[in-house]
Structure formats: structure tokens, C-alpha cells
A and B are shown apart, each in its own frame.
Chain A
Amino acid sequence: AQKVTQAQTEISVVEKEDVTLDCVYETRDTTYYLFWYKQPPSGELVFLIRRNSFDEQNEISGRYSWNFQKSTSSFNFTITASQVVDSAVYFCAPLPPSGGSYIPTFGRGTSLIVHP
């Protein structure tokens, strides 16, 4: 069975620190997508990025970067020089191949608190 784990329940940092959020997707599938969503204190859910299991290159977008380690099926999401506005719950959601299911399963989320 497939399983998505966000082991970090809560992370607390001081502004300007770098922080990495982890997501592990246990599956026998070799090809899949992984989505990241952000839920700030206001409660809305916002799509951040999609990563592919077949692309191991780092991706950088401003202060955000993503890295996939194939050997451990671990997707790392790093925020460089964190800001108070980054405080939110971050969810990862893998998407299995179309032969299995259309349904992304969400991890339980990591709550990031950035202190000024």
C-alpha cells in the first residue's frame, strides 16, 4: 500500500533561518507526481508546486527550493531566509499513476512557525 508521511509535525524557527520540510512517499510506483500546498493562518489552501518522481534535479524558485532523493523517496522543501509570512501548514500530496487512482492523498502536514 502507498503511504505518505510528513514526520515533522511542527517546526519553529527564527526569521532568516533556513528551514527544510520533509515528505516521504512509500510506493512501488516508479513514476508519480508530488504536489505541495500551503495553508496560512487565514485558512485557505494554495497550490505551491508540482514535482515529478523522474526528475531528481533541484528546483529553485526565489526563496523556495525542492529536492527529490530517489533512494529514500523523500521530497525535501527548503525555504531560505525564512520570513514571518512563511508561517503556515505545508502539505504534500503524491499522485499515483493513472492506472491506479486519480486521487492524491495528503500528508498530515507540517506546521511552520517563523518568529520575528
Chain B
Amino acid sequence: NAGVTQTPKFQVLKTGQSMTLQCAQDMNHEYMSWYRQDPGMGLRLIHYSVGAGITDQGEVPNGYNVSRSTTEDFPLRLLSAAPSQTSVYFCASSYLPWDRPYGYTFGSGTRLTVV
């Protein structure tokens, strides 16, 4: 089925470890983004991309890296995990939001715990 595929669904890391959260979409969406969701904080944007080779920072980018080598994939890298990065992470994609404002399609989320 078409949509946004996010892996893994669950992950436990030790402080200082690195890892990559994977996100792939097959809808030919130009726009992709990563959010983290913490209790009472809503969804906060980490990084986003408006096309292959183009990325930019969101509201809470520190400690995370992204790249967009293809239209389909937008991985999120945690460089050195910290307990403050314990959260639920969502990947979202859409057409360019202002050009074709059809709303985001979200992945199913990754629950990350850093101990």
C-alpha cells in the first residue's frame, strides 16, 4: 500500500550510541519532515526537506542530522543519543505544502528510549 514507511517501530539505545531512523515514501512527495512528540508538547519539527538534496532545520534540530539523496528516503540520524531524546518520532510527507495543501501523510512512528 502507498504511504510512509517508518522503521524501526521501537528502539532502546544506550547513552552515546548512534542510530538511524528510516523513512521512505512512495507517493512522489517533494516535502518530507521529522517530528518528535513528547507529552504535553505536541509535535515539534526537527528537520525538513523540500526535495532531494535540500534540507533545513526545524524547531529542535540539535543532536540530529538528516540527508535527502532521493525523493523517496529521508533518514534521521541521532549522532550521540541522550536521555532527552527519548520520544516518539514521526516522519511525514506531502506535496509542497503551499503549492498543493493536501495535508501530511504520517508514518506509524518510532518509539525511542535512551537509557
Contacts and interface: CB of A to CB of B under 8 A. Distances in A.
Interface of A: 9, 33, 35, 37, 43-47, 50, 91, 95, 97-98, 102-109
- Closest 9 A/B residue pairs (Cβ): A47-B103, A98-B98, A108-B42, A45-B106, A106-B43, A106-B42, A33-B101, A102-B97, A109-B42
Chain B's interface size range is 20 to 34
Contacts of B98: 95, 97-98, 102
A84 B29 CA distance: 34
> Chain A interface secondary structure, helix, strand, loop or mixed?
loop
Nearest to A39: B37
A43 B109 CA distance: 8
A91 B103 CA distance: 12
A101 B106 CA distance: 20
A24 to B, nearest CB: 14
Contacts of A9: 40
Interface string B75-115: 00000000000001010100011110111111011000000
A107 B44 CA distance: 9
A75 B44 CA distance: 21
27 contacts: A33-B101, A35-B101, A35-B103, A43-B88, A43-B108, A43-B109, A45-B43, A45-B90, A45-B92, A45-B104, A46-B106, A50-B102, A50-B103, A95-B97, A95-B98, A98-B98, A102-B31, A102-B50, A102-B96, A102-B97, A102-B98, A103-B33, A103-B58, A104-B97, A106-B43, A108-B41, A109-B42
A104 B42 CA distance: 12
Nearest to B104: A47
B42 A95 contact: no
Given A43-B88, A102-B97, 6 more contacts: A43-B109, A45-B43, A103-B45, A103-B97, A107-B42, A109-B42
